[in-house]
Amino acid sequence: MRTVTVTGHGEARAVPDAAVVRVAAAHRAAGVADALAGADSAAKQIIATGREHTTPERIGSTSIQIWPAHDDRGTPAGFDARHSLTLRCDDIEAAGALLAALATSVGDRLQLEGVSLEVSDRSAAETAAREAAYADAVERAAHLADLAGAVIGDPQEVVEGGVVSVIGQVRAAKALAADVALEPGEMSVTSSVTVAFQIH
């Protein structure tokens, strides 16, 4: 039995409807204890503000660091402490309001590490990408079989190469009087499928 094996690729688009906000509470002081206490105070304020915009289980610490600080001339300038947290919001508008509220409540001790947008339910996009990948595999196999003077028959083996989600960048993020506007853009979900077809 002759076969032809091809790999098809598919893509589907989805609009993000959730957001992950990564921030840090930072504080510099002359001593280690004071630096850590300042960062801890700011982190508690981040958590309190975060709970006004999302649920407690969606707020978590990711790291706590402290290191010697130096000025521009390399002279020791106390210690820097940093408490990083991740806050997840099921609503993009809520994430924008959260950012504005954090800037107000935490002030200069707040550092924004990044905002990423996500699709809360990717199953429909993943299915569409998988279907597109299989259709692409059929088209590729038919073309190769035609070049060889044959036609494709039944599939003999199907192996999914995986579904990869690539989150699009935030296209716009500007400070407004009431909140921070986040434009969702689009997310690309890709899939690959390897199929062995009988040819005759």
DSSP codes of every residue in the chain = -EEEEEEEEEEEEE---EEEEEEEEEEEESSHHHHHHHHHHHHHHHHHHHTTTS-GGGEEEEEEEEEEEE-TTS-EEEEEEEEEEEEEESSHHHHHHHHHHHHHHHGGGEEEEEEEEE-S--HHHHHHHHHHHHHHHHHHHHHHHHHTT--EEEEEEEEEEEEEEEPPPPS-EEE-SSSEEE----EEEEEEEEEEEEE-
Sign of CA dihedral 92, 166, 103, 47: positive
Burial of 52 (0-12, 13-18, 19+ CB in 10 A): exposed
Residue 178 in this model has a pLDDT that exceeds 80: no
CA distance 187 to 128: 13
Residue 172 in this model has a pLDDT that exceeds 50: no
Task: For residue 92, give the nearest of 17, 164, 42 by alpha carbon.
Answer: 17
How confident is the model at residue 176, as a pLDDT?
35
Count other Cβ atoms within 10 Å, centred on residue 99: 25
Mean of pLDDT over the chain = 90
Task: For residue 48, give the nearest of 95, 96, 98, 14 by alpha carbon.
Answer: 98
Q: What domains lie within the chain, and their CATH numbers? A: 2-15+121-199 (3.30.110.170), 18-118 (3.30.70.2970)
Residue 27 in this model has a pLDDT that exceeds 80: yes
Task: For residue 21, give the nearest of 109, 111, 95 by alpha carbon.
Answer: 95
Q: How confident is the model at residue 183 (pLDDT cuts 50, 70, 90)?
A: confident
Residue 101 in this model has a pLDDT that exceeds 60: yes
Contact by Cβ (8 Å): 190, 164: yes
CA distance 67 to 112: 19
Contact by Cβ (8 Å): 49, 59: no
Residue 61 in this model has a pLDDT that exceeds 50: yes
